[in-house]
């Protein structure tokens, strides 16, 4: 299992795309063999990259997700939702923008599957069914403007009307995949 990512840096109207691992001084690639331990900020973007971008230009992380595959049932699971939350919260103070791979399963439609859930990486199925990751972004959109606290499993914000919002999540180790839907229950 890999995390999918690409990074964009904007210089006026020109955007430059490059794989993150080519930027690191050590030039090491990262392989994600334990995604439940993944902290996108610590392991993938790296402190060197974040420090460099703070001094030079804003960092935009786009098209990253829990898997490279457009036919992985992790994309239909609650695991993907908390994985996205964990990494979005971990990175929120260090990047200008983060987005996941796709919004609709219609981007990866296959003719050999008529099932509404086919492992696509969208937030909505081709039939318009909202996936757990959709609700992860919905919850984030309901958070307040002012960050009060954040941690590995929580985010606390406030709005300008003395309202508070608390988002709790727990990204735990996924079960060994057997290819059954029961793997995600």
pLDDT digits (tens, 9 = 90+) for 33-81: 334 344 544 455 555 566 665 666 666 777 677 766 677 778 888 888 8
Contact (Cβ atoms closer than 8 angstroms) between residue 3 and residue 40: yes
Compute the distance between CA of residue 19 and CA of residue 6 in angstroms, rounded to an integer: 6
Q: Is residue 36 part of a domain?
A: yes
For the cut 90, the answer to whether the pLDDT of residue 168 exceeds it is: yes
Q: Is residue 41 part of a domain?
A: yes
Q: Is residue 79 part of a domain?
A: yes
Neighbouring-strand partners of residue 168:
154
Residue 3 confidence class, pLDDT cut points 50, 70, 90: very low
The structure tokens listed for 127 are: 């039939």
State the CATH number of the domain containing residue 30.
3.20.20.80
Query: What is the per-residue pLDDT for 106?
Result: 63
Q: Is residue 20 part of a domain?
A: yes
Q: Is residue 82 part of a domain?
A: yes
Residue 142 confidence class, pLDDT cut points 50, 70, 90: very high
Compute the distance between CA of residue 150 and CA of residue 127 in angstroms, rounded to an integer: 35
Sequence-distant contacts of 147-152: CB under 8 A, at least 24 apart: 147/92, 147/93, 150/89, 150/92, 152/86, 152/90
Q: Is residue 27 part of a domain?
A: yes
For the cut 70, the answer to whether the pLDDT of residue 139 exceeds it is: yes
Q: Is residue 95 part of a domain?
A: yes
88-135, pLDDT tens digit by residue?
898 888 777 777 766 766 666 666 666 777 777 788 887 888 989 899
- CA-closest candidate to residue 4, choices 54, 48, 70, 58: 70
Q: Could you give the number of structural domains in the chain?
A: 1
Q: Is residue 38 part of a domain?
A: yes
> What's the domain range around 78?
4-143
- CA-closest candidate to residue 138, choices 80, 68, 81, 78: 81
Cβ neighbours around 65 below 10 Å, total: 24
Query: What is the per-residue pLDDT for 108?
Result: 66
């Amino acid at each position: 299992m890999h995390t999918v990512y690409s990074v964009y840096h904007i210089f006026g109207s020109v955007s430059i795309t490059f794989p993150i691992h080519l930027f690191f001084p050590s030039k090491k690639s990262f392989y994600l063999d334990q995604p439940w331990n993944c902290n996108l900020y610590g392991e993938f973007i790296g402190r060197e990259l974040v420090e460099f971008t703070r001094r030079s230009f804003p960092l935009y992380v786009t098209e990253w997700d829990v898997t490279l595959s457009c036919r992985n049932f992790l994309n239909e699971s609650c695991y993907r939702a908390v994985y996205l939350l964990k990494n979005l919260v971990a990175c929120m103070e260090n990047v200008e923008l983060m987005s996941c791979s796709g919004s609709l399963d219609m981007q990866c439609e296959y003719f050999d599957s008529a099932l509404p859930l086919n492992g696509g990486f969208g937030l909505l199925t081709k039939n318009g069914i909202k996936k757990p990751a959709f609700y992860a972004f919905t919850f984030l959109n309901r958070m307040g403007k002012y960050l009060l606290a954040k941690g590995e499993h929580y985010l606390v914000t406030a709005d300008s009307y003395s309202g508070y919002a608390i988002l709790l999540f727990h990204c735990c180790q996924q079960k060994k995949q057997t290819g059954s839907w029961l793997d995600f229950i």
